[in-house]
Structure 1
Amino acid sequence: MSAKPGLFLKKANDDLVSHCKCSPSVWIAGPGQLDCPWCGCGWLFICPQCRRAFTFAVAEPCDLTWEELAWHDLKTRYSEPPTDEEVEMWIDCMKSVVGDLEEGKQYVYLDFYAIPVDAENFAFDGMFSQHKLLWVPQVQALAKPAIVDEILSNPDYWLDRRIDIDDEYDVPG
């Protein structure tokens, strides 16, 4: 059996966008990011139970192994049980997404990474675009909801910063 992640992300609340009505005790699913990240797939977490999106997650101690987390997510994603290869791919992917977490800290999802809600003046290359932000857009959108349309759900924001890739997605990490 594999190691435990130590800390992993759980749904924190229903703030901003939350189509998931599951309890806050649900762990996050692997990203379902498509080539249209402005639809929400590039800036929202996914619930592995109901497959719906939410904005904020919190880092908490996790008693499950990486394999158990993968199975919990993948069994609701596909009609067939996941293969060992799919489980390993999920684990590798999620280790890149969650990176270094701090217990009790809240995070948002942005273009393949869990970003701390208190991040300021940060830049990174995501799966789809390059980002250079003074603040976390999801957090600022709590006070100014127009930011969702101006940045997060704005195709121009994402496409103007798009990373050129050769006909296939390269997963960062």
Structure 2
Amino acid sequence: MAKYLEKANNETLSFCQCERGLASIPGQLDCPWCGCGYLIACTYCRKAFTYARVVEIDLSYVEIVTADRKRGGYDTATGVVQSQADWLAHVMKDFEIGDLVVYFDGFFLRAEADNLELDGLFATHSLARLPHHDALIEPAALLATLGNVEYWLSRERPICEIDN
């Protein structure tokens, strides 16, 4: 049994129509405004959704990663899978069952997180509240902020600062 992220709803942006969509390992590109920097991909249909709920599932992190990578057509070598499984275990440890979670520039965060100072994969962010949270009240808030290329480019981290 493991804590994991399941699609919570179809609020705001949700292209995934799966009954029980599970979150894929993030695959953020160098154009995060396209949605890869703030949406979650489904392990089954590969389409995006905004909100995930922490649930308990009857799989290990190795099983989750292996299935996700197989469905995506990616390498399932033990070293790759174990590395991602270890990352998942680390990420999930601070969440509780039932938490509403979003993805934002390299991080899974509680949707209600506030006063964020964050060096993401692409940009540096300083936010009073996540745009995902605002979008629960005003759905257009997500695209108005995170779908805006200028939002990301004005905060872009120099390549030499990015920790890979």
TM above 0.5: yes
The sequence identity of aligned pairs, in percent, is: 37
Number of residue equivalences: 164
Which residue in the other structure is 2:153 paired with? 159
**Alpha-carbon offset, residue 37 of structure 1:** 0.4
Aligned equivalents of 2:91, 2:152: Cα separation in 1: 19
Per-residue CA deviation, residues 149-171 of structure 1 (Å, 9 max, x unaligned), is 3311111111111111239x634
Aligned equivalents of 1:70, 1:118: Cα separation in 2: 27
CA RMSD of aligned residues (A): 2.0
> Conserved in 1, the CA contact under 8 Å of 2:61 and 2:89?
no
> Conserved in 1, the CA contact under 8 Å of 2:33 and 2:152?
yes
1:100 aligns with 2:94: yes
> Conserved in 2, the CA contact under 8 Å of 1:99 and 1:114?
no
**Alpha-carbon offset, residue 124 of structure 1:** 1.2
Q: 1:97–1:112: structure 2 CA closer, same or farther, 3 Å change rule?
A: farther
> Conserved in 2, the CA contact under 8 Å of 1:18 and 1:53?
yes
Aligned equivalents of 2:89, 2:149: Cα separation in 1: 28
Which residue in the other structure is 2:55 paired with? 60
**Alpha-carbon offset, residue 117 of structure 1:** 1.4
Per-residue CA deviation, residues 30-58 of structure 1 (Å, 9 max, x unaligned), is 01100000100000011011000000001
Unaligned runs of 5+ in 1: none
Q: 1:163–1:81: structure 2 CA closer, same or farther, 3 Å change rule?
A: closer
> Conserved in 2, the CA contact under 8 Å of 1:70 and 1:90?
yes
Alignment of 1:21-100 (within 5 A): 21-23=17-19, 25-78=20-73, 82-95=76-89, 97-98=91-92, 100=94
TM-score (norm 2): 0.89
Matched residue of 2:141: which SS? helix
1:16 aligns with 2:12: yes
TM-score (norm 1): 0.85
Aligned equivalents of 1:97, 1:138: Cα separation in 2: 19
